[in-house]
Structure 1
Amino acid sequence: MLTLYGIPNCDTVKKARAWLNARGIAYQFHDYKKQGLDESRLRAWVDELGWDALLNRRGTTWRRLPDAVREGIDETTAIQLMLEQPSIIRRPLLDTGESRHLGFSETQYEELLR
């Protein structure tokens, strides 16, 4: 079973969900804001994808952070920040069970889910 991680009001998450639904692809949706995220799962993602790739520097959550936090970010502080404010994790994150994929593009999803 596929799992799509994100927040429901994110436009990119909405596009990914619509794409999956239109093709009848079964998946489970994990809402970071309601369901949270455990540290062991996040650390596994960091090991696989890298903390820098997981950190969404384009969103309002990032822009609202104090300059000192943004400038001093490293793996440890990034993980803590993502656990405290999961909205700062780049989304969606698609977990196929074998691998994890960040963001959404129709081409990427078509190749992954053939």
Structure 2
Amino acid sequence: MVTIYHNSRCRKSREGLELLNGSGKDFEVREYLKEPVSTEELKSLLDKLGMAPIELVRKEEKIWKKEFKGKDLSDDELIRIMVENPKLIQRPIVVKNNDAVVGRPASRISDLLN
């Protein structure tokens, strides 16, 4: 099964969803701002992505710049911050089995599906 972690207000996320709609593959949409991810789920996503927590943070978000930029934060603290502030999570994230990609650019999603 394929899952897209989607934010409908994000242009890149909408592009990823459009690509999935045209792929002919079955998938589910997880609107993670409405149904936030748990700590365990975020850790699993990071593992599938092969990324460190700081790599998944949207560093241009206002809340990051105001509250967290320049602080020496541990991986566990970064995960907690993203769980508490899901807008800080890069998007879209597309998961297929035990693999995942951040769909920027959207062609990374195509690569994952093939």
The TM-score bracket by the shorter chain reads 0.7 to 0.9
- The number of residues matched between the two structures is 111
Which consecutive residues of structure 2, in runs of 5 or more, have no partner in the other structure? none
Moved beyond 3 Å, runs of 4+: none
**Normalising by structure 2, what TM-score?**
0.84
Amino acid corresponding to residue 37 of structure 1 in structure 2: V
Greater percentage in helix: 1
| 2:51 corresponds to 1:49 | yes
Normalised by the size of structure 1, how large is the TM-score? Answer: 0.84
How far did 1:45 drift?
A: 2.8
Distance in 2 (alpha carbons) for counterparts of 1:83 and 1:36: 7
The Cα shift of 1:102 comes to 1.1
Give the root-mean-square deviation of aligned CA atoms. Answer: 1.7
Partner of residue 7, structure 2: 7
Indicate the residue corresponding to 1:62 in structure 2.
64
Question: Which runs of 5 or more residues in structure 1 are unaligned?
Answer: none
Whole-Å separation in 2 of the counterparts to 1:106 and 1:46: 19
The equivalent of 2:70 in structure 1 is: 71
